[in-house]
């Protein structure tokens, strides 16, 4: 994605952008009635009942102000609840919710439409035909408001709840993974620049939010070099840490273009960073496992969601992902994504046998799906089992976790020839 498109996407996702756009359209619609007045025959305007538009706009203005205030209060409450009881990182997804933004924007737009209409009526700029146009426009606005309100009411029942947050994070993690242009690895591999490589460092301290790979590709092609990216989205960088390196020399202008291809922000973002989705899922599960909440069911739901993301990793067709020429992208590994999810939950849920059983089942299922990683997954499952043995005092509960471990990895056994073909 080019830099300008990334910035535009960020702008469109802002809650004020849609509200301002619809509000401006509402004002234009209210004032356009005076310009469109000649389109309505005078006799027809007398039979439409446009004289009632004054009362309708007054009712609309008062009701929309109350509904807008209610919707804004509901959204702020959901944001606050998500930050307090789920994780602050999930609030961004709630703020970007299209249904919530459409509701708030439509209600605010309806209020401004009514206010501007009332003011314009008091000046007498409409006339009989203009009032008819305004009446028709008011009916259309009311219809849009009713449909939006019904959709918003149906959304409010789940908006900002824990399961809603889990589903949103899961969907964004899968989307980021599907569009990730780098290679997929089973186990993490270290990469280091060759001697004599030109190192490209970051311009400031923060997290890489976006990489404009087309800009990197153009700068590398002009310099006649190959650029190896080592800091994909989600990587913490500073002016001493490299974004990547070139296999040849580049001039100062090309070096600046490569450096400026990375947008660095104070916090991580979901868009190009699949691992961040796994980190946030783990945060939701860890908070649910805290002594003050003690909700193992949410941790189990997190493990199920994380398993679906990892299933997407293993079945992804990497040939459909567009890659930039002259750029060797940073790989993403199955190992990193699993550990991002499992290690925090294995630590915080060690004393809950329900979480331990589900974790063993998940790791066993992944070992069956990705046989190349079976040995490493078995070690991870054994580590989680050792933590459970140290934390669970009930022998019968611990036995259930141990049985789940044996059963999960017995089922994960695959014939050697199948593993070799994979």
Buried b (16+ CB within 10 A) or exposed e, 255-288: bebbbebbbbeeebbbbbbbbbbbbbbbbbbbbb
Nearest alpha-carbon partner for 345 in 406, 279, 269, 267:
279
pLDDT at 282: 95
pLDDT at 317 over 60: no
pLDDT at 405 over 90: yes
pLDDT at 398: 93
pLDDT at 400 over 90: yes
Which two structure tokens, joined as six digits, stand for 97? 């919710």
Query: Sorting pLDDT into bands at 50, 70 and 90, what band is 46?
Result: very low
Mean pLDDT of 339-352: 94
- In this predicted structure, which of 34-48, 79-93, 155-169 has the lowest mean pLDDT? 34-48
Query: Sorting pLDDT into bands at 50, 70 and 90, what band is 341?
Result: very high
Q: Which residues pair with 69 in a beta bridge?
A: none
Question: For residue range 280-312, what is the model confidence (pLDDT) as tens digits?
Answer: 999 999 999 988 888 999 999 999 999 999 988
Calpha distance 293→52 (Å, rounded): 55
pLDDT at 65: 87
Locate the domains of the chain by residue range: 3-160, 190-265, 274-321+332-421
Residues 6+ apart with CB under 8 A from 121: 53, 54, 57, 131, 134
φ, ψ of residue 224 to 5 degrees: the values are: 70, 35
pLDDT at 329: 87
Residue whose entry in the numeric block shows the structure tokens 């070139």: 246
Query: Sorting pLDDT into bands at 50, 70 and 90, what band is 391?
Result: very high
pLDDT at 360 over 90: yes
pLDDT at 157 over 70: yes
Alpha helices in 157-205 (DSSP H): 162-178
Calpha distance 272→235 (Å, rounded): 11
Query: Sorting pLDDT into bands at 50, 70 and 90, what band is 48?
Result: low
Question: For residue range 49-99, what is the model confidence (pLDDT) as tens digits?
Answer: 556 777 888 888 889 888 888 888 888 888 888 888 888 888 888 888 888
As a whole number of Å, the end-to-end CA separation of the chain is 32
- In this predicted structure, which of 228-237, 260-269, 312-321 has the lowest mean pLDDT? 312-321
Question: For residue range 143-153, what is the model confidence (pLDDT) as tens digits?
Answer: 999 999 999 88
Query: Sorting pLDDT into bands at 50, 70 and 90, what band is 418?
Result: very low
pLDDT at 343 over 80: yes
Residues 6+ apart with CB under 8 A from 340: 275, 278, 279, 282
Contacts of residues 400-405 at CB distance under 8 Å and 24 or more positions apart, as own/partner, are 400/353, 400/357, 401/353, 401/356, 401/357, 401/360, 404/356, 404/357, 404/360, 404/361, 405/360, 405/364, 405/381
pLDDT at 340: 94
Calpha distance 256→216 (Å, rounded): 10
Q: Calculate the average pLDDT of the chain.
A: 84
Give the C-alpha distances (Å, rounded to integers) separating 202 from 2, 6, 17, 260, 264. 18, 19, 31, 8, 8
Residue with more model confidence, 133 or 372: 372
Calpha distance 17→37 (Å, rounded): 31
Task: Establish how many alpha carbons lie within 13 A of residue 137's alpha carbon, considering only the half-sphere containing its beta carbon.
Answer: 27
pLDDT at 38: 62
pLDDT at 419 over 70: no
pLDDT at 41 over 90: no
Which two structure tokens, joined as six digits, stand for 187? 């186990």
pLDDT at 376: 92
CATH superfamily of the 190-265 domain: Pyrimidine nucleoside phosphorylase-like, C-terminal domain (3.90.1170.30)
pLDDT at 34: 67
Residue with more model confidence, 132 or 233: 233
Q: What angle do CA 350, 352, 354 make, to 5 degrees?
A: 120
Nearest alpha-carbon partner for 232 in 194, 274, 196, 266:
274
pLDDT at 122: 80
- In this predicted structure, which of 169-173, 247-251, 285-289 has the lowest mean pLDDT? 247-251
Q: Which of 81-90, 373-382, 412-421 has the highest mean pLDDT?
A: 373-382
pLDDT at 187: 84
């Amino acid at each position: 994605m080019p830099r300008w498109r990334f910035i535009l996407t960020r702008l469109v996702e802002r809650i004020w952008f849609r509200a301002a756009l619809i509000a401006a359209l509402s004002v234009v619609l209210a004032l356009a009635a005076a310009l469109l007045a000649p389109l309505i025959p005078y006799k027809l305007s007398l039979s439409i009942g446009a004289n009632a538009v004054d009362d309708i706009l007054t009712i609309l203005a008062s009701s929309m102000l109350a509904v807008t205030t209610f919707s804004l209060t509901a959204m702020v409450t959901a944001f606050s609840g998500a930050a307090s009881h789920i994780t602050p990182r999930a609030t961004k997804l709630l703020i970007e919710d299209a249904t919530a933004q459409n509701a708030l924007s439509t209600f605010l737009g309806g209020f401004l439409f009514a206010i501007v209409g009332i003011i314009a009526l008091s000046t007498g700029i409409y006339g009989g035909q203009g009032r008819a146009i305004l009446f028709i426009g008011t009916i259309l606005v009311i219809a849009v408001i009713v449909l939006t309100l019904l959709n918003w009411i149906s959304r409010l029942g789940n908006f900002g709840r824990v399961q809603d947050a889990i589903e949103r994070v899961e969907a964004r993690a899968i989307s980021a993974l599907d569009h990730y242009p780098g290679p997929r690895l089973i186990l993490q591999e270290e990469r280091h620049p060759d001697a004599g490589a030109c190192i490209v460092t970051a311009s400031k301290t923060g997290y890489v939010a976006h990489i404009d790979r087309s800009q990197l590709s153009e700068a590398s092609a002009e310099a006649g070099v190959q650029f190896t990216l080592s800091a994909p989205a989600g990587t913490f960088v500073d002016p001493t840490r490299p974004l990547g390196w070139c296999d040849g020399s580049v001039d100062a202008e090309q070096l600046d273009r490569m450096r400026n291809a990375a947008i660095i922000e104070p916090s991580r973002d979901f868009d190009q960073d699949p691992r961040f989705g796994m980190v946030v899922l783990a945060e939701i599960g860890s908070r649910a496992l805290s002594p003050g909440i003690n909700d193992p069911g949410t941790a189990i739901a997190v493990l199920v969601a994380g398993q679906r993301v990892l299933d997407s990793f293993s079945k992804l067709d990497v040939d459909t992902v567009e890659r930039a020429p002259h750029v060797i992208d940073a790989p993403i590994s199955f190992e990193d994504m699993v550990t991002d999810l499992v290690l925090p939950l294995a630590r915080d849920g060690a004393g809950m046998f329900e979480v331990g059983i589900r974790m063993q089942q998940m790791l066993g299922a992944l070992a069956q799906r990705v046989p190349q990683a079976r040995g490493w997954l078995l070690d991870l499952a054994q580590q989680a089992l050792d933590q459970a043995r140290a934390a669970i005092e009930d022998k019968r509960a611990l036995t259930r976790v141990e049985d789940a471990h044996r059963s999960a990895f017995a089922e994960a056994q695959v014939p050697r020839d199948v593993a070799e073909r994979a």
